[in-house]
Amino acid sequence: MTNIDSWLDKNTYHHSQFWDLVRMIREKEKQELTVSLCIPTLNEEKTIGKELVLFKSELVDRYPLLDEIAVIDSGSTDRTLEVAADFGADVYLATDILPHLGARQGKGENLWKAIHQLKSDIIVYIDADIKNIHPRFAYGLVAPLIYRPEVKYVKAFYDRPLAMSNEIRPSGGGRVTEILVRPLFSLFFPELAALIQPLSGEYAVRREVLERIPFPIGYGVETSHLIDVYSEWGMEAFAQTDLDRRVHRHQATRDLGKMSFGILHAFLSRLRSRNIVPELPTLTPILRQFQVRDKKYEQVIHELYEEERPPMIQVPEYRSRYGLDT
């Protein structure tokens, strides 16, 4: 088992360590690496333009770190697609990518289809709703992959796990991480509990990894990624970068309940497939929540199916596109 303290010292970074973008780009070019930025969207017209302007001006025009910027959209009904196109992104509807495989709703679907559509050796995923967007959200995640060939998957986190002056700030993830995911990891995959924000929506991954892991289409995608990468490549495949602060929408507790339900589905399915808990019953897709109307309690029933897409390397069109059958 990995020594967690040693892993944290070796594999945890602060974005300020990567301030020298000229050096980073020189090393990227030396290795002949390419980097794609993927922004999955659904009705993000208020923030997508600002993100694209910043990444294009700072990490394409000024410092050529990114070779491609793409928006993969789930079917926005606002002006997300128009704004993204106007600000220079390559814009794709998820339903138009591999259409013969059908359409599914969920962030994981967008992330999966991006592997087929985007061209680079490294894909960095960044959420579209970040209000304090900064170039560090991309270069802070890509840098460990450029400087350390053995690292395959880099996660973001947003609090400093350090003592500052006479104050110690507790570091951790969001509510679902601390109440659900970290306890589960501590019980079943204790090394993965070293990841400070396992559910963060910002991460950079080598194509050779992304194409070999399945993708839940819904809320379980990030948790499943970590278990699958850990199972195949071990803890040394991971690194994490402190990005200081992230400002985004606050989610209601009810919505976090739906997220937790999807994560549990994906997590338990992996316990079963790895024979850790082989005798699990069939998992229901029904989540029951409650509300009060006219002093009467009513059920609110959600059907949440955690379908999974197969590893992209199994898709014939992908193999053909990237010359894997030659």
The answer to whether position 2 is within a domain reads no
pLDDT, position 194: 96
Residue 73, amino acid = D
Confidence of residue 305 (pLDDT cuts 50, 70, 90): confident
Average pLDDT taken over every residue of the chain: 92
What's this model's pTM, rounded to 2 decimal places? 0.91
The Cβ of residue 45 has, within 10 Å, a number of other Cβ atoms equal to: 17
Please name the residue that has the structure tokens 């109307």.
293
The answer to whether position 1 is within a domain reads no
Domain of 31, in residue numbers: 7-321
Residue range 82-90: mean pLDDT, rounded: 96
DSSP string across 178-232: IIIIHHHHHHH-GGGGG-S-TT-S-EEEEHHHHTTS-EESSTTHHHHHHHHHHHH
- Distance between first and last Cα of the chain: 39
As beta bridge partners, residue 156 has 241
The answer to whether position 138 is within a domain reads yes
Q: Look at residue 72 and tell me whether its pLDDT is greater than 50.
A: yes
The answer to whether position 326 is within a domain reads no
pLDDT in tens, 148-175: 999 999 999 986 434 444 455 455 558 8
Instruction: For residue 12, give the CATH number of its domain.
Output: 3.90.550.10
pLDDT, position 180: 96
pLDDT, position 199: 94
pLDDT, position 172: 56
pLDDT, position 170: 53
The answer to whether position 306 is within a domain reads yes
The answer to whether position 190 is within a domain reads yes
The answer to whether position 269 is within a domain reads yes
Q: Look at residue 117 and tell me whether its pLDDT is greater than 90.
A: yes
* % of the chain with per-residue pLDDT over 70: 94
What is the number of domains present in the chain? 1
Q: Look at residue 271 and tell me whether its pLDDT is greater than 50.
A: yes
Can you tell me the distance from the alpha carbon of 128 to that of 107, in angstroms, rounded to the nearest whole number? 11
The answer to whether position 193 is within a domain reads yes
